[in-house]
Amino acid sequence: MVARTTVVARPMHADIDYHRYLEEKDSVQADLDEWRSMFGDVAQKNGWMPVSEDRSADDQEEDLRQRIFLTKQSIASVQVANPDATFSIMSPFSAMTNDEFNTYVMNSYIRSNSTGGSSGAATRQLRSGTGSESTSNLITGSSDTTSWMKTIESLLENLVNGLSAGTVQPASDSSANVLSEGTSGGQTTYQFSNIWDWRPHQKPTPTPTTSAPSSTSSPTLTEKATVSSGSVDWSTTECVAPIQSQGSCGSCWAFATVSAVESAQCIANGKTALTKYSEQQLVSCNSQNWGCGGGAPEYALDYVQQNGLCTDDSYPYTSDVGYAYSCSSSCEPQETGLSGYSQVSGEDELLSAIEEHPVIVAVASGNNVWKQYTGGVVSSCDTWELDHAVVAVGYDSSSIKIRNSWGTYWGEDGYMRLARSSSSQGTCGVTSDMSTPKM
């Protein structure tokens, strides 16, 4: 007689309603199978689906089932708070817990010190191990111990990843044409002591203005531009590139910057096709920012203004695997026409700026609303910490249209609509920190 090994199911997540899970286990398995057929490959590639060699295949399947069940339960509350939007487990992040998704987007966006301050030091929001927020000054390093240690661990990991890819050739943010001229004469090797020089460097000149973008000049619209009284949608024109995916790299700041610059150039020049520029150049070469460890779009704009950008064809994106890699000098940067940038304040100024061209905005995305969004107009997020950089590409009477960098399999083919709001922060914090390129 052959002995049969029985897999004993057990709760694998502390917040699961286990009795209800057991009652719905068969339907949850069907949901998991459908989700895996749609998103399994992309989730596994980007690290959005947990895999452990230490667990049996049965344990892994049980864990995935419970994760899908938890996600399905979490959708109910966000749906009530957002009646004009739709949410579903058929989203690429559904196998991640809330905390895992929070960590995935955490700190990929950094607020620069361009608004000024007595110390001139950039301030970055950090989460502690318990999920609470603390403010850490990048110069003094003051924060709670858990946040500090998690930040150091992240920085060490990114540095090691960069070193493992080869010798780093960082492009200077203070000299023009550095990719074509400044990196050919030799290599710079990072020493171990550089680990502690992790704060953003002092901002180069010229210092960006804080005034609102001028609305006296109207953009030259491309033939297909959708611009009418009370609405704008640049995503329907040739001046917005197809949706891309940043993968498992915290490079939203680079994607938002490149998207805004290339669209602004296309619109200003009256072209019917834009020049697609390289996000990888910013991730690997913009030494003021932290590669896959996050960055400030304002610092990226400074870099672009002084160094230009290579085309995407000559310097394609390879950091989707989570590594920044060394800066390459093999491409020839082009002038983008960027002369600086302006900070935007409030929804009215944002709408005026969008009429000229797309605008870089920061949002609070580390929540179930963004995790499970599939369409419609979002009116409420349950977090306010700015952790993700995106681009506002349009608006209408009720919403602001957002271009994300999580691929076409998320949201409305890669886009989201946020409800217009009288709040000073805007829906999901969208009007809290905004920058528009000046051409």
Active-site residue list: 252, 388, 404
Cα angle 107, 113, 119 (rounded to 5 degrees) comes to: 115
Question: Using an 8 Å Cβ cutoff, are 304 and 257 in contact?
Answer: yes
Please give the Cα distance from 269 to 221 (Å, whole number): 9
Q: Single out the residue of 297, 333, 327 nearest to residue 312, CA to CA.
A: 333
**CB-count exposure of residue 351 (10 Å: 0-12, 13-18, 19+):** buried
Q: Kindly state the helix (H) or strand (E) to which residue 438 belongs, with its residue range.
A: strand 434-438
Q: Is 60 helix (H, G, I), strand (E, B) or coil?
A: helix
Q: How far is CA 307 from the centre of its chain?
A: 23
Dihedral-angle region of residue 220 (phi above 0 means left; psi in -120 to 50 means alpha; beta otherwise): beta
β-pairing, 399-403 vs 388-395, is antiparallel
Question: Using an 8 Å Cβ cutoff, are 89 and 231 in contact?
Answer: no
β-pairing, 388-395 vs 231-233, is antiparallel
**How crowded is residue 117: how many other Cβ atoms within 10 Å of its Cβ?**
11
Beta bridge partners of 343: 435
Cis peptide before 206 (omega within 30 of 0): yes
Q: Is 226 helix (H, G, I), strand (E, B) or coil?
A: strand
How many residues in the chain? 439
Structure tokens at 92: 């690429």
Quote helix, strand, coil % in the chain, to nearest 5: 35, 15, 50
**Secondary structure string (H, E, C) spanning 160-218:** HHHHHCCCCCCECCCCCCHHHHCCCCCCCCCCHHHHHCCCCCCCCCCCCECCCCCCCCC
